[in-house]
A and B are shown apart, each in its own frame.
Chain A
């Protein structure tokens, strides 16, 4: 494990996190260890309330673990940083700022000069297909557009690691499919280290190099499925979402992962 700290981008070592709700403390994450390599797209799935979000907030540095440590490039994480950008399920855009100003936000604190900021913002507005909406305010945008702004905001800030907490969870099914395809395309053109949380098994298989299946609360790792390394779903990133979900390999894998999650739900009676 010591050597992992150096070699891997992001390493969680025996992390346990408590979650406070209604003045009571719950053990949300129980002794999780996970090493994420540079340029890897890791998706974490699990039954709702399993501590996925808490775990991701811990990776971001927004929550301190009760036990265990988290390292990035071998250095312990003690707080939030621009090197670990977060896309939240509820978008978290600044409502009084325009699309342009929202995307520009982080760059100002990185000390990027004005002209360069403008260039970067334009590039990512184009990447998330929002040309013409530079001067719009978040309340004028649809849910999918808001999340595009949030993704552009994080991409533009060039974090070493991207943390995405159910980013498409609040979107309708059609928008969601398009966003998944676009995210795959963005990931292929600009390879980043990504940790992606979802409770959609299809989304996990379509997007992830590795899928981490968590148990019900307190969350632990139940199984890790290496999709890219073992080439479980061929040509997944070249095909559109609808074609991929119809592959036999995809359906088999979906069945397997869903079985793992379903067993958790039934076993711990969390329905």
Chain B
């Protein structure tokens, strides 16, 4: 690429960054305008941005309930990570086997088709009944939320592997077992990773939902507490942090995606 076009692309990129930054700043300005400056919204309905950010700063050192701010973030992180971990280790093997063995597919499909449309939060009462109000019930809800998108994507990935690749492997002497691990699974990786991305997004929703009900820690708990104690700055803080957490998680998965599907055409 020539020096000139490199500069040109750089310029476009800088313009984009500028636009993105100005939209964030604009959003904060409007927020500031309707709260502090024009006082269109009383602080009890919508606190000003500086009040929210000061609140975040303050809660780093002053505990809310059982934990300080990073304690709450940590608790939520553990819940989501354990939930995602369990869902991954169940959904990927099951999806691969269901996609490959038609008998297992016929056996498992009706149950899965029946359970899949049930929103994960509908499990909350049972989860509390079975696992109490500790880590177990939250992890259970998150696992259910993450499990199905990964399962379905893995299953479809295996089911719709390019038949030509399987034929090529067969005529090169690979047996069924080799074909499953050497051809079918690698070929399904892009769809599996896409499933993980959808699953983790859903998992974040499940995390908040599970923490809104019966929790004494975590970001969802802070959001709930803000409503109960009429401290909307607490709720907004929790929402912002969930947003940031979700964004970071998505970026990490995107990075992994680029790494594992290096062989896909751009």
Contacts and interface: CB of A to CB of B under 8 A. Distances in A.
Whether chains A and B associate is: yes
Interface of A: 60-62, 79-82, 84-86, 88, 90, 92-97, 105-106, 109-110, 137-139, 153-154, 157, 163
Contact of B165 (A80, A86, A92, A110): A92
Contacts of A92: 162, 164-165, 167-168
Contacts of B264: 95, 139
Interface in B231-266: 262-265
Given A95-B264, A96-B263, A157-B173, A86 B183 contact: no
A106 B173 CA distance: 6
B175 A109 contact: yes
Interface in B199-221: none
A194 to B, nearest CB: 14
Contacts of A105: 169, 172, 174, 182
B26 to A, nearest CB: 41
Contacts of A85: 171-172
A154 B175 CA distance: 17
Contact of B167 (A62, A93, A96): A62
Nearest to A110: B173
Contact of B263 (A62, A79, A139): A139
A134 to B, nearest CB: 15
B167 A80 contact: yes
Given A62-B171, A94-B186, 18 more contacts: A60-B167, A60-B171, A61-B171, A80-B170, A81-B171, A82-B171, A85-B172, A86-B167, A94-B165, A96-B263, A105-B169, A105-B174, A106-B172, A106-B173, A109-B172, A109-B174, A138-B263, A154-B172
B172 A82 contact: yes
Interface string B172-190: 1111001000110011010
Contact of B173 (A95, A109, A138): A109
Contacts of B187: 96
Interface of B: 162, 164-165, 167-175, 178, 182-183, 186-187, 189, 262-265
A109 to B, nearest CB: 4
B172 A88 contact: no
A96 B182 CA distance: 10
B186 A90 contact: no
Which of B168, B262, B263 has the largest count of A CB atoms less than 10 A from its CB? B168
A189 to B, nearest CB: 22
A61 B172 CA distance: 12
B171 A84 contact: yes
- The B interface, classified by DSSP as helix, strand, loop or mixed, is helix
Contacts of A62: 167, 170-171
A81 B170 CA distance: 7
A21 B189 CA distance: 29
Nearest to B262: A137
Nearest to B175: A109
Contacts of B178: 109
A160 to B, nearest CB: 12
25 contacts: A60-B171, A62-B170, A79-B170, A81-B171, A82-B171, A84-B171, A85-B171, A86-B167, A88-B164, A88-B167, A92-B164, A92-B168, A94-B168, A94-B183, A95-B264, A96-B187, A96-B263, A105-B182, A106-B172, A106-B173, A109-B175, A137-B263, A138-B263, A154-B172, A163-B171
A54 B169 CA distance: 18
A88 B173 contact: no
Top 7 A-B pairs, shortest CB-CB distance: A82-B173, A106-B172, A92-B168, A80-B170, A109-B173, A86-B171, A96-B263
B226 to A, nearest CB: 48
B2 to A, nearest CB: 22
A109 B186 CA distance: 18
Contacts of A90: 164
Contacts of B164: 88, 90, 92
B6 to A, nearest CB: 22
A60 B264 CA distance: 29
Contacts of A93: 168
A86 B172 CA distance: 8
Contacts of A106: 172-174
Contacts of B170: 62, 79-80
Given A88-B164, A90-B164, A95 B263 contact: yes
Which of A80, A82, A153 has the largest count of B CB atoms less than 10 A from its CB? A80
Contacts of A88: 164, 167-168
Contacts of A94: 165, 168, 183, 186
A80 B263 contact: no
A209 B265 CA distance: 39
Contacts of B169: 105
Nearest to B167: A62
A5 B162 CA distance: 35
B165 A139 contact: no
A90 B189 CA distance: 21
